[in-house]
């Protein structure tokens, strides 16, 4: 028996990375040695001190029972201290921090707490697909904010119509940005906070890439550093990218007390929290030896330089940036992003992400993830050199 899907499922486009996996599988069946530069999933292992912390915590019988919905207080205290040390931001771990089963889970659930049918989320385009999907699941409508290179890939709040702004309940931001690699400035964040206050909008900052940067003197900033942020904003952070913990599913959100409480009410009804042993490992990640995070930056810096050198030798232009482990690359003339991505997969066995997969304003670009070894990245470049664009 086959059951009819709900309309919310029928209306969804294929999830971007699931479709890439399908195309990759087709090539693999043909015995093509595929180099996957599509999904941003770190290929290096979780630092050993974090793994050891999990092993010890898994033996504790008190960790075998249901955890707190909001997360262990010790983990939330570690997150608050990390924010204080890294950004100079004071947080109340009891009321302004919540533990998440990865930041994606929290972002996906947040609209359920604040969006009613007919309400609007202001969503950047191009963007991580979850912002729009989560809004639609909650019965809301999406208004796209174009991210254009001429504006530094920052949305133009002045271009949002007054009637749209008045119906908006959530505004999503993501800096350092996936996929464009852009960073936000202090002035931009001030403008975003002022806009959110004017229209009584919940400002949502998705910030999992703040620790992937290349110039130590230009570390990305947090929205929460800006005066007034706590009045209107919640910021999501993840241990996935910084500490190579994508499979562990651990993250947290911080900021406005009522936003944190609203998210907590949803989570109370749909999940039972994060396994406490993983939270103890998360405490070690946030408060223990940070050399693993620094090593990550060195690895990505080497890979980035190697791939950029290859792009320049081919004649492909890219967006220059200081953060994330992605490259946002301009298409050769005469191709759509889907056509180009399919071409290099079928003719060179290299997977990249078409820009349009992140939204209509991503057309004209493709994204490469640097989560493969330098040797494989160089091989990918060699394969591309043999193609005719």
pLDDT of residue 113: 98
Cα–Cα dist 370/356, whole Å: 20
Average pLDDT of the chain is: 95
Q: Which helix (H) or strand (E) holds 69?
A: none
Cα–Cα dist 139/119, whole Å: 8
DSSP letters spanning 180-237: T-----HHHHHHHHHHHHHHT-EEEEE-TTTT-BS-TTSPPP-GGGSTTHHHHEEEEE
Is the pLDDT higher at 17 or at 61? 61
Q: pTM for the full model?
A: 0.96
Q: Are 98 and 235 in contact (CB under 8 A)?
A: no
Region of residue 31 (left: phi > 0; alpha: psi -120 to 50; beta: else): left
pLDDT digits (tens, 9 = 90+) for 280-309: 999 999 999 999 999 999 999 999 999 999
Residue 8 has pLDDT above 90, yes or no: no
Contacts of 85 (CB under 8 A, 6+ apart): none
pLDDT of residue 343: 92
158 prior amide bond cis, ω within 30: no
Residue 371 has pLDDT above 80, yes or no: yes
**Beta bridge mates, 203:** 171, 233
Average pLDDT estimate for 219-243: 98
Average pLDDT estimate for 267-284: 97
Burial class (CB in 10 A: 0-12, 13-18, 19+), 354: buried
Average pLDDT estimate for 239-257: 98
Which long-range contacts does 90-93 make (Cβ < 8 Å, 24+ apart)? 91/224, 91/254, 92/257
pLDDT of residue 16: 64
Is the pLDDT higher at 285 or at 28? 285
pLDDT of residue 117: 95
pLDDT of residue 191: 98
State the pLDDT confidence band at 11, using cuts at 50, 70 and 90. confident
What are the CA-CA distances from residue 186 to residues 156, 221, 222 (Å)? 15, 8, 9
State the pLDDT confidence band at 373, using cuts at 50, 70 and 90. very high
Cα–Cα dist 204/52, whole Å: 34
pLDDT digits (tens, 9 = 90+) for 134-174: 999 999 999 999 999 999 999 999 999 999 999 999 999 99
pLDDT of residue 380: 97
pLDDT of residue 17: 66
Average pLDDT estimate for 46-74: 97
pLDDT of residue 22: 79
> How wide is the angle at C-alpha 158 spanned by C-alphas 259 and 196, nearest 5°?
15
Residue among 358, 366, 357 at smallest CA distance from 331: 366
Q: Are 239 and 209 in contact (CB under 8 A)?
A: no
Please name each of the domains of the chain with its CATH number.
7-45+291-385 (3.90.1150.10), 48-287 (3.40.640.10)
State the pLDDT confidence band at 53, using cuts at 50, 70 and 90. very high
- With H, G, I as helix, E, B as strand and everything else as coil, classify residue 71: coil
Residue 15 has pLDDT above 80, yes or no: no
State the pLDDT confidence band at 7, using cuts at 50, 70 and 90. confident
pLDDT of residue 27: 77
Average pLDDT estimate for 111-121: 97
């Amino acid at each position: 028996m086959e059951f009819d899907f709900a309309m919310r499922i029928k209306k969804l486009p294929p999830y971007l990375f699931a479709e890439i996996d399908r195309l990759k599988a087709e090539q693999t069946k043909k015995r093509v040695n595929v180099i996957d530069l599509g999904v941003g999933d770190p290929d290096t292992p979780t630092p050993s001190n974090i793994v050891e912390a999990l092993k010890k915590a898994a033996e504790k019988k008190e960790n075998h029972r249901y955890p707190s919905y909001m997360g262990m207080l010790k983990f939330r205290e570690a997150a608050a201290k990390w924010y204080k040390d890294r950004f100079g931001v004071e947080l109340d771990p009891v009321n302004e921090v919540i533990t998440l089963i990865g930041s994606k889970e929290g972002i996906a659930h947040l609209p359920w707490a604040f969006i009613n049918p007919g309400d609007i989320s202001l969503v950047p385009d191009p963007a991580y697909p979850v912002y729009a999907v989560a809004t639609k699941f909650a019965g809301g409508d999406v208004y796209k904010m174009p991210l254009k290179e001429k504006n530094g890939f920052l949305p133009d709040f002045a271009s949002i119509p007054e009637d749209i702004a008045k119906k908006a309940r959530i505004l999503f931001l993501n800096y350092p940005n996936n996929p464009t690699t852009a960073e936000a400035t202090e002035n931009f964040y001030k403008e975003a906070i002022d806009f959110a206050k004017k229209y009584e909008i919940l400002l949502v900052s998705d910030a999992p890439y703040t620790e992937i940067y290349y110039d130590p003197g230009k570390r990305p900033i947090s929205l929460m550093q800006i005066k007034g942020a706590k009045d209107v904003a919640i910021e999501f952070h993840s241990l996935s990218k910084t500490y190579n913990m994508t499979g562990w599913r651990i993250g947290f959100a911080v900021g406005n007390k009522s936003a944190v409480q609203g998210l907590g009410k949803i989570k109370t009804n749909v999940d039972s929290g994060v396994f406490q042993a993983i939270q103890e490992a998360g405490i070690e990640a946030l408060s223990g030896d940070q050399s693993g995070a620094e090593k990550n930056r060195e690895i990505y810096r080497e890979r980035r330089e190697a791939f950029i050198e290859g792009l320049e030798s081919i004649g492909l232009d890219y967006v220059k940036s200081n953060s994330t482990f992605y490259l946002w690359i301009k298409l050769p003339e005469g191709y759509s992003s889907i056509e180009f991505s399919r071409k290099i997969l079928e003719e060179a066995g290299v997977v990249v992400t078409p820009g349009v997969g992140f939204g209509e304003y991503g057309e004209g670009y493709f994204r490469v993830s640097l989560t493969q070894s330098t040797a494989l990245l160089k091989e990918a470049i060699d394969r591309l050199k043999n193609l005719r664009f």
